[in-house]
């Protein structure tokens, strides 16, 4: 495997509603700051890959205007995925493995506040029999939570404790949206949003963008004092139809984790992108994380959830812990689709 | 033998998604400007090229523009044109009409608009000026300019606009 590392990361603050700026204007300073921090102001990247969704913008080919943020003249080698930026990073990593690029810029951006996000998400379901019923994303997650509670696999208290932990960690993250000191007991007294889920079980809706730079071999050593080397990365998908999946565990996360080689060593830090508390529990279990791992030092997706960038941000946040020496081995997770349908696991080492 | 069934040919699944669209800071600046009869562009901090309408960043260098704007003249040069003789459902104009790309004086990007002139007169390099709607009708729209019309000035030399075709 070719040595490829994460050497740069920037993000915008997660905001419930970005009042003024459009998607691209949220992205522009993020990219600009990243280029500046790495001395890439004039130089171009060998490859650029982005993740965003036209359904969030409500505009076809909305992602093309994102190119304004990178400066695409003279023409650049570029690609786009209609997925979280973590999958754009995967594409860039593959390109670098094949020797087509030594440096890559990866970004994800979205402004879900422009539409009704839980309803927009129904469009990722089977278009013939599921989408026409318009099941919103929170209701689908609630069905999964109900399965877990009824099977005795999680408790509401455990779910609340995850929200408490993430919100507490997020106090140290200036980009997080939901943060502070909370008590599980008082969160559990709050009304249900979509039973059995309460507000604290659901990730916020966030407008935002993030960007990462990858570099190979010596180029990475030039750009970072302590590059966060990608030692394994894999993504696995489950069937689209919810009825044929086991929703009480995340098989695809387990398989991706195995392929990424997560269990070859201790995990110091894990950054998870699960948008509901019960899903965070499932992902922790699938990754086999124990008490020795610091989970979501940034607060994770439950503290800030810029759709299409949130998974990429987890990789950036995990890499930051390698750069600053607070971790020697870190894991980042990203998800896509309803009820943890598709999962990506990335293992980083210093 | 099972009964032959007609293939299912049509499935109606109406999709309706509502958005509260935001034009963004840059386009809003431009639209607020045109509501006052001002044509606002922005200058790239790297090479000084003037982009009209203003946008968030220079698409060539990826440099953020910030809030500074530049007011441009409503006179310009036709860099290319098309005489349209084919009707379109969305365009309520009487045929034929002239679609033009106008390079406003001081700008480095072109604006697409209409030209009111005799068909046989239109040509590249032709000098034109905007004809505005009455001020009382101005809104945040490029439609505040009804069309461009030729003005009595000598043609712009080809070299002055060849880069913008």
- Over residues A95-108, the pLDDT tens digits come to 999 999 999 999 99
Total count of domains within chain A = 2
Burial B108-122 (b: 16+ CB within 10 A, else e): bbbbebbbebeeeeb
Residue A173 located in a structural domain: yes
Low-confidence stretches of chain B (pLDDT beneath 70): 1-2
Express as a percent the part of chain A with pLDDT over 70: 100
Q: Tell if the CB–CB gap between B24 and A25 is shorter than 8 Å.
A: yes
Residue A121 located in a structural domain: no
Enumerate the domain spans of chain B: 22-72, 73-165
Among the partner-chain residues B22, B24, B58, the one whose CB lies closest to the CB of A71 is: B58
Could you tell me the CATH number of the domain that includes residue A279? 3.40.47.10
Q: How many CB pairs under 8 A join A and B?
A: 81
Q: What is the pLDDT of residue B1?
A: 53
| Domain shared by A37 and A64, yes or no | yes
Query: With contact defined as beta carbons under 8 Å apart, do A73 and A103 qualify?
Result: no
| Domain shared by A215 and A315, yes or no | no
- C-alpha torsion sign, points A75, A76, A79, A83: negative
| Domain shared by A189 and A212, yes or no | no
Look-up: residue for tokens 């505040």? B144
| Domain shared by A94 and A140, yes or no | no
Q: Tell if the CB–CB gap between B57 and A28 is shorter than 8 Å.
A: yes
Cα–Cα dist B34/A267, whole Å: 57
Q: What is the pLDDT of residue A43?
A: 81
| Domain shared by A212 and A198, yes or no | no
Segments in chain B forming alpha helices (H): 25-35
| Domain shared by A145 and A112, yes or no | no
Query: With contact defined as beta carbons under 8 Å apart, do A32 and B64 qualify?
Result: yes
Residue A124 located in a structural domain: no
Residues 6+ apart with CB under 8 A from A187: A160, A163, A164, A198, A200
Q: Which two tokens stand for residue A216?
A: 């190979």
pTM for the whole thing?
0.94
Residue A321 located in a structural domain: yes
Expressed as residue numbers, the domain containing A219 is: 4-116+205-227
Which residue, among B17, B27, B62, would best test binding to A if mutated, counting the most A CBs under 10 Å from its CB?
B62
A261 pLDDT higher than 80: yes
Among the partner-chain residues B11, B59, B60, the one whose CB lies closest to the CB of A128 is: B11
Give the residue from chain A lying closest to B29, CA to CA.
A20
Residue A157 located in a structural domain: yes
Instruction: Tell which residue, A185, A178, A139, A125, has the closest CA to residue A160.
Output: A185
More confident residue, A40 or A87: A87
| Domain shared by A167 and A316, yes or no | yes
- The model's pLDDT over A267-282, given as tens digits with 9 standing for 90+, comes to 999 999 999 999 999 9
| Domain shared by A183 and A315, yes or no | yes
Q: Which two tokens stand for residue A146?
A: 């109900």
Which residue, among B22, B29, B108, B109, would best test binding to A if mutated, counting the most A CBs under 10 Å from its CB?
B22
Residue A42 located in a structural domain: yes
**HSE value, Cβ hemisphere, 13 Å, CA-based, for A260:** 30
| Domain shared by A154 and A195, yes or no | yes
Cα–Cα dist A286/A279, whole Å: 10
Among the partner-chain residues A55, A71, A114, the one whose CB lies closest to the CB of B61 is: A71
Residue A122 located in a structural domain: no
How would residue A218 be classed by pLDDT, with cut points 50, 70 and 90?
Answer: very high
Q: What is the CA radius of gyration of chain A?
A: 19
Residue A111 located in a structural domain: yes
Which residue, among A21, A28, A73, would best test binding to B if mutated, counting the most B CBs under 10 Å from its CB?
A28
| Domain shared by A143 and A82, yes or no | no
Average pLDDT, chain A: 96
Beta bridge partners of A106: A49, A212
Q: What is the pLDDT of residue A60?
A: 86
A140 pLDDT higher than 90: yes
Phi and psi at B140, nearest 5°, equal: -80, 65
Instruction: Tell which residue, A79, A27, A86, A89, has the closest CA to residue A215.
Output: A89
Residues 6+ apart with CB under 8 A from A270: A284, A287, A289, A293, A294, A295, A296, A318, A330, A331, A332, A333
Residue B26 C-alpha, separation from nearest chain A C-alpha, in angstroms: 8
Q: Say whether the peptide bond before residue A32 is cis (omega within 30 degrees of 0).
A: no
| Domain shared by A80 and A18, yes or no | yes
Q: What is the pLDDT of residue A62?
A: 83
How would residue A224 be classed by pLDDT, with cut points 50, 70 and 90?
Answer: very high
Q: What is the pLDDT of residue A91?
A: 98
Q: Tell if the CB–CB gap between B13 and A29 is shorter than 8 Å.
A: no
- Interface of chain B toward chain A, CB-CB under 8 angstroms: 11, 13, 15, 17-28, 55-64
ipTM: 0.85
User: B39-43 and B70-72: which strand pairing?
Assistant: antiparallel
- Would you tell me how many other CB atoms lie within 10 Å of the CB of residue A90? 24
Give chain A positions within 8 Å (CB) of B13. Answer: 127-128, 131-132
Among the partner-chain residues A31, A32, A115, the one whose CB lies closest to the CB of B19 is: A115
How would residue A154 be classed by pLDDT, with cut points 50, 70 and 90?
Answer: very high
| Domain shared by A212 and A332, yes or no | no
- Is A246 exposed, middle or buried (CB count within 10 Å of its CB: 0-12, 13-18, 19+)? exposed
């Amino acid at each position: 495997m070719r040595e490829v590392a994460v050497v740069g990361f920037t993000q915008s603050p997660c905001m419930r509603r970005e009042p003024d700026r459009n998607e691209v204007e949220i992205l522009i300073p993020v990219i600009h700051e990243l280029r500046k921090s790495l001395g890439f102001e004039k130089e171009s990247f060998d490859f650029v890959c982005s993740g965003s969704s036209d359904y969030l913008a409500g505009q076809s080919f909305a992602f093309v205007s994102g190119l304004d943020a990178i400066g695409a003249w003279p023409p650049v080698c570029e690609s786009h995925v209609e997925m979280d930026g973590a999958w754009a990073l995967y594409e860039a990593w593959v390109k670098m493995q094949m020797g087509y690029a030594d440096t890559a810029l990866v970004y994800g951006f979205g402004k879900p506040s422009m539409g009704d996000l839980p309803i927009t998400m129904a469009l990722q379901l089977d278009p013939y029999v599921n989408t026409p019923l318009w099941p919103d994303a929170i209701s689908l997650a609630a069905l999964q939570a109900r399965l877990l509670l009824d099977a005795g696999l999680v408790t509401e208290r455990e779910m609340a404790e995850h929200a408490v932990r993430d919100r507490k960690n997020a106090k140290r993250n200036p980009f997080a949206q939901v943060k502070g000191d909370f008590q599980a007991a008082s969160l559990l007294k709050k009304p249900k949003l979509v039973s059995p889920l309460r507000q604290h079980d659901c990730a916020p809706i966030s407008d935002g963008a993030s960007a990462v730079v990858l570099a190979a071999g010596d180029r990475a050593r030039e750009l970072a004092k302590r590059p966060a080397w990608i030692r394994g990365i894999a993504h696995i998908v489950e069937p689209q139809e919810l009825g044929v999946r086991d929703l009480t565990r995340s098989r695809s996360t387990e398989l991706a984790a195995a392929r990424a080689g997560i269990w070859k060593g201790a995990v110091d830090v894990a950054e998870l992108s699960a948008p509901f508390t019960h899903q965070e529990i499932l992902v922790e279990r699938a990754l086999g994380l124990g008490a020795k791992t610091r989970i979501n030092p940034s607060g994770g997706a439950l503290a800030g959830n810029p759709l299409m960038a949130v998974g990429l941000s987890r990789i950036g946040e995990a890499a930051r812990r390698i750069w600053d020496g607070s971790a020697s081995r870190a894991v980042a997770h990203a998800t896509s689709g309803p009820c943890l349908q598709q999962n990506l696991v990335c293992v980083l080492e210093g | 033998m099972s009964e032959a069934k007609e293939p299912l040919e049509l499935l109606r699944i109406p999709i309706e998604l509502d958005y509260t669209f935001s034009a963004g800071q840059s386009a809003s600046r431009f639209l607020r400007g045109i509501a006052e009869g001002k044509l606002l562009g922005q200058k790239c901090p790297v090479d000084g090229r003037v982009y009209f309408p203003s946008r968030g960043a220079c698409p060539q260098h990826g440099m953020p523009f910030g809030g500074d704007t530049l007011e441009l003249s409503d006179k310009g040069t036709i860099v290319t044109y098309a005489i349209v003789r084919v009707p379109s459902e969305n365009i309520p104009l009487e045929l034929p009409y002239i679609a033009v790309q106008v390079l406003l004086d001081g700008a480095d990007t072109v604006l697409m608009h209409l030209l009111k002139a005799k068909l046989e007169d239109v040509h590249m390099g032709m000098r034109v000026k905007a004809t505005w709607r009455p001020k009382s009708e101005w809104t945040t729209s490029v439609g505040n300019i009804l069309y461009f019309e030729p003005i009595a000035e000598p043609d712009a030399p080809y070299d002055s606009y060849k880069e913008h075709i």
